[in-house]
Amino acid sequence: VTDALKTKYLKTLYFGVARDPDGTSLLEEYIFSFSYDEAGCVVLDMN
């Protein structure tokens, strides 16, 4: 993830909290969207 941010490659990251080890029963899901401004700063939006 860090390398993808540094190279401005990362656009979307899905993060889930699951009830079971297999991750088939999600309790919560977060979607992080990344964009990059002209100064090279990362802009984060959480959906």
Listed by start position, the domains of the chain span 2-36
Predicted confidence at residue 29, as pLDDT, reads 95
Q: Map tokens 């100064």 to a residue.
A: 39
- Please say if the pLDDT value at position 45 is more than 90: yes
**pLDDT at position 47 over 90:** no
With 0-12 / 13-18 / 19 or more C-beta atoms within 10 angstroms meaning exposed / middle / buried, residue 43 is: exposed
pLDDT for residue 23: 87
Q: With residue 3 as reference, give the H or E element that holds it.
A: helix 2-6
For the segment 30-47, the average pLDDT, to the nearest whole number, is 95
Enclosing H/E stretch for 5: helix 2-6
| pLDDT digit string, tens, across residues 3-27 | 999 999 999 999 999 999 998 999 9
